Amino acid sequence: MGREITNSAAAANQKQQSTTSYTVEQLVAVNPYNPDILPDLENYVNEQVSTQTYSLNANLCLLRLYQVEPDRMSTKIVARILIKALMAIPAPDFSLCLFLIPERVQMEEQFKTLIVLSHYLETARFRQFWDEAAKSRHILEVVPGFEQAIQAYAVHVLSLTYQKVARSVLAESINIEGPALDKFVEHHVANSGWAIEKSQTKGQLIILPPTEFNHPELKKSASDGIAFENITRILPILG
């Protein structure tokens, strides 16, 4: 009796597992042009929001289904997809989604707001972005991790641009000040190779980790490699 229960529980559990593991990503891969998977994809968007995961492929697939059957479109879901796509910046996901959303839908107030936010991010106007985001909290707070994602983007662009950046510029870009900023910087000093330099005239300077994008001299050494396929050409000679 006891064994039976465990068995059926295991079976149920397994079933659950197989449905969850078989859903969405695989459905999208195997059956991307099937309107029947629309509800699954919608649920998956909500799942991405709650578990802080992301799948561009699944979301584009859903937008494509909406494109064919506009009557089934849920603007609530579309908004979530767009916020998720905004969080994927610097990848161009937000535009990729907009390309698939009919213009009349984009006219809705909440989408207009998201488009403005995207515009500020694309043009690196962080101050305006954070001001606008504060006004639109009701739209954005549905999706956890939003601020962190944008902060990561700001750090990305700063790292592409600066070797050393003033603390105040950093503060404005990521919208953090005071002790919270100290903590943020400390965290990156410990984990991402940041360093702090005290400048006498202007306070703190943050030294961002060198990459080939802010230290161009790092680039040249990397580019003169030889692909393995090319070496095969001279193997008979060497041998």
Partner 1 sequence: MAVTPSYEAEQPAAGESASTGYDPNYVPDSVKSFVVHMYRHIREKNVYEIHQMYETSFQSISERLFKDSPWPSVDAVASYVDNDHVFCLLYREMWYRHLYARLSPTPKQRIDSWDNYCSLFQVVLHGVVNMQLPNQWLWDMVDEFVYQFQSFCQYRAKMKSKTEQEIALLRQYDQAWNVYGVLNFLQALVEKSMIIQILEQEKEGLEQFTATDGYDYSGGSNVLKVLGYFSMIGLLRVHCLLGDYHTALKCIVPIDITQQGVYTSVIGSHITTIYHYGFANLMLRRYVEAIREFNKILLYIFKTKQYHQKSPQYEQILKKNEQMYALLAVSLSLCPQVKLVEETVNSQLREKYGEKMSRMQGYDDDAFTLYDELFSYACPKFITPSSPSYEETLVNYNQDAYRLQLKLFLYEVKQQQLLSGVRTFLKVYSTISLGKLAAYMEVDEPTLRTILMTYKHKTHSVDSDGKITSNADLDFYVDDDMIHVTESKPAKRYGDYFMRQIVKLEGIMTDIDRIKLE
> What is the distance between the alpha carbons of residues 59 and 71, in angstroms, rounded to a whole number?
18
CA distances from 211 to 10, 41, 178 (A): 50, 38, 28
DSSP for 209-235 reads: PP-TTTSTHHHHHHH----HHHHGGGH
Site string for partner 1, 142-181 (x = CB under 8 A): ---------------xx-xxxxxxx--x--x---------
User: Is residue 96 part of the contact set for partner 1 (CB under 8 A)?
Assistant: yes
Residue 185: CA count within 13 A, CB half-sphere: 23
Site string for partner 1, 38-77 (x = CB under 8 A): ------------------xx--xx--x--xxxx-------
Residue 196: CA count within 13 A, CB half-sphere: 17
Q: According to CB under 8 A, which one of 6, 103, 109, 178 is a site residue for partner 1?
A: 103
- Residue closer to partner 1 by CB (options 16, 67) is 67
> What is the distance between the alpha carbons of residues 92 and 88, in angstroms, rounded to a whole number?
8
Shortest distance, CB of residue 158 to partner 1, whole angstroms? 7
- What is the number of other CB atoms lying within 10 angstroms of the CB of residue 45? 22
Q: According to CB under 8 A, which one of 125, 132, 152, 189 is a site residue for partner 1?
A: 125
> What is the distance between the alpha carbons of residues 103 and 83, in angstroms, rounded to a whole number?
18
CA distances from 101 to 20, 68, 73, 82 (A): 28, 11, 10, 10
Q: Across-strand partners of 195?
A: 207
User: Is residue 22 part of the contact set for partner 1 (CB under 8 A)?
Assistant: no
User: Is residue 213 part of the contact set for partner 1 (CB under 8 A)?
Assistant: yes
User: Is residue 203 part of the contact set for partner 1 (CB under 8 A)?
Assistant: no
User: Is residue 27 part of the contact set for partner 1 (CB under 8 A)?
Assistant: no
- Which sign, positive or negative, has the C-alpha torsion 55, 61, 62, 63? positive
Q: According to CB under 8 A, which one of 7, 35, 187, 196 is a site residue for partner 1?
A: 35
Shortest distance, CB of residue 157 to partner 1, whole angstroms? 5
Q: According to CB under 8 A, which one of 3, 109, 224, 239 is a site residue for partner 1?
A: 224
State the residues that interact with partner 1 by CB under 8 A: 32-35, 56-57, 60-61, 64, 67-70, 90-92, 95-96, 98-100, 102-103, 119, 122-127, 157-158, 160-166, 169, 172, 199, 205, 212-216, 219-220, 223-226, 230-231, 233-234, 237
